[in-house]
Structure 1
């Protein structure tokens, strides 16, 4: 399974418009939704339902968590079913497999684990790290995944940080080190045919709180140097996707409490305008405390899309329901019917997603 150069150079000009022209607004909006689930085998009713949603174009992809992984054979069978449901527009079959504390595939089910980022960088050159990540990426790809949510390009700027430094998720304390090892991670995954996602924009490494738990204000701690890994990787053409964190900065918010995931200034002005990123923007989990404690589902969906978000990621863990994907889709369609500008945003996101998906074999 390899990234197809022919598809990347030629397919985007031919296949992508064909897919786009055949899609309904419902199918376009469906591609913007990625949800978590509770199934553990291909025969599980929840997995069958997700497969049907993918086939109908109502869902763009799925998110694996540890709850879904009881055996590697079952994981491979589920992924095969998801892929078979939409062979022309492959689903985004996603997971967080960073190494260390953040991973969904573990030794408990026979997967070879690797160290956390801080250890990888301390004990390996970037070239050695690439070889290490290549072995991991190949094993992930063989199971049928299409996206690994990494690398972490946060800079370790706060040793007391509760979500990055605490778990050794950053490659280093300076932008150059982080960039070098992030490139190694990305190259290894590309060799295996996997898409990657830089995270957590605009930078979670200096924060004093954890967005999983609640509101995170980076106004006094964030520094512009935290954009440098993004700037370098985007300029080098290494950025497949960028994952937006749920981080509040008063100078970049249009309203009190507006997180970066709902901020047009962060997404459209800084990421797309200043840094020149024209690819897919995906949210961090929209059920984290920073979001679910402050916004309704409708406010979350509409706010993120209006800010420029292309893919809405829901772990579906805070209040699990099989219907979550359909609920999100209904909100997107209702808003599009009421607002032509919102409908145009859906079409814009769909075009970016199709281009990305045509890179998946």
Structure 2
């Protein structure tokens, strides 16, 4: 009961979408978040992104460590990104700042680091952890970001896991307790005006391989208990973002599609069974699990048809300034040929705009 009450208290009601007469081109653009080359406001790659944001051609940007030279440089870039955006469509300015080894802002750049999730849980109750994440969230917001791809709600059920357990990214192996810690992370970020993303749906903790490198088949290892944090948080009112991993479970999707491209996982399980109403975002679509097996066109079309709202590209493997244009062209060509695909773009746009209306708002309601 405490979890549901706390989450509901920290969430603003979904605002009605702004009355913006958007073209289909701009609707499709809002579904694209890309990484970039550069670490200063005057860099060519940054200038190109500003122009794309101004035109509504992309919906947001993703930072990696290579983009972080100093706080001053990051703040200047993020200010430029925000100022370039059309009215009512602030860009998602995103990063992975979990704590521990998975972070883009570190002490070398002047950011106060925090321990990884496993260390936080080992030494603090969920309530005690709140202060740690308040500090983290306030710092992330102060540097000009508005989306942190956190918290991790994977369960640490495989001690030999190469992606989660190895780096201490999970709060534990009990779903309800993981949800308690995650709720504190979410509340801290909402209080700082930040959006969050649960990851990596449907659960990377039992896997025996790394989706950065190639296909990850969890058919024999995954258990329904790995959905428990999602059940707890979504039933408590969570509706920011859920990040979909690139995980294969032929018990759920006999086609063998990775979860990020799988309608059974996204529409049937996440939206249908769990009732998630927020924005679905992919994990980086340039990981080996996707890039090595699907063309860019196949990736984009399968993801959107599966129910994805935001397509995330780190722009490291493809690494070209035209990537956003290429993705948008694929979306528009398919929308022109298929009315059902066009309707999917419009549906995603409505969810994205509703979520963007909450950027910068302090989501703590008066007591």
TM-score range, shorter chain: over 0.9
- Residues 239 and 279 of structure 2 are in contact (CA less than 8 Å); yes or no, is this contact kept in structure 1? no
Tell me the equivalent position of 1:143.
Answer: 143
Superposition deviation, residue 254 in structure 1? 4.6
Q: Which residue of 2 aligns with 1:288?
A: 287
What displacement does 1:48 show? 1.0
Is 1:18 the counterpart of 2:19? The answer is yes
> Deviation of residue 239 (structure 1)?
3.7
Q: What does the per-residue CA deviation read over 1:259-279, in whole Å, with 9 as the maximum and x for residues that have no partner?
A: 001111110010001100011
2:203 aligned partner: 203
Asked if the contact 2:30/2:60 (under 8 Å) is kept, the reply is yes
In 2 relative to 1, CA 156–163 (structure 1 residues): closer, same or farther, beyond 3 Å?
same
Alignment of 1:154-303 (within 5 A): 154-255=154-255, 257-303=256-302
For 2:15, what is the secondary structure of its paired residue? helix
Which residue pairs with 2:109 in the alignment? Answer: 109
The answer to whether the Cα contact below 8 Å between 2:161 and 2:208 also exists between their aligned partners in 1 is yes
Q: Which residue of 1 aligns with 2:129?
A: 129
Match of 2:357 in 1: 358
2:59 aligns to what?
A: 60
Shift of 1:65: 0.2
Which residue does the alignment assign to 2:26? 27
In 1, distance between residues paired with 2:292 and 2:88?
38
- Is the counterpart of residue 326 in structure 1 residue 325 in structure 2? yes
TM-score of the superposed pair, with normalisation by structure 1: 0.95
Cα offsets for 1:326-352 (capped at 9, x unmatched): 110010001111111000000000000
The 3-state SS of whatever aligns with 1:103 is coil
Q: Distance in 2 between matches of 1:197 and 1:106?
A: 20
State the Cα distance separating 1:46 from its structure 2 match. 1.0
C-alpha distance in structure 2 between counterparts of 1:325 and 1:303, whole Å: 17
Which stretches in structure 1 are left out of the alignment for 5+ residues? none
Measure the CA separation in 1 of the matches of 2:202 and 2:358: 26
* Separation in 2, partners of 1:331, 1:299: 9
Cα deviation for residue 128 of structure 1 reads: 1.6
How far does residue 156 in structure 1 lie from its aligned partner after superposition? Answer: 0.5
Residue 96 (str. 1) matches residue 96 (str. 2):
yes
**Alignment deviations for residues 75-122 of structure 1 (CA, whole Å, 9 cap, x no partner):** 000000000111521100000000001000001111111000000001
Q: CA contact under 8 A between 2:286 and 2:314: conserved in structure 1? A: yes
CA distance in 1, matches of 2:170, 2:204: 10
**1:12 to partner: Cα distance:** 2.4
RMSD between aligned alpha carbons?
1.3
Preserved CA contact (<8 Å) 1:54 1:61: yes
Deviation digits for residues 49-73 of structure 1, max 9, x if unmatched?
A: 1011111110000000000001110
Per the alignment, in what secondary structure is the counterpart of residue 140 of structure 2? helix
Q: Distance in 2 between matches of 1:166 and 1:206?
A: 12
Q: Which residue of 1 aligns with 2:364?
A: none
Distance 2:48 2:110 in 1: 28
Q: Give matches, 1:299-314, under 5 Å.
A: 299-314=298-313
Q: Distance in 2 between matches of 1:263 and 1:309?
A: 9
Alpha-carbon distance, 1:285 to partner: 0.3
TM-score normalised to structure 2 length: 0.93
- For these two proteins, the number of residue pairs brought into alignment is 350
**Corresponding residue number in structure 2 for 1:39:** 38
**Is the contact made by 1:280 and 1:352 (CA closer than 8 Å) also made in structure 2?**
yes
Larger fraction in helix: 1
Deviation at 1:252? 1.9
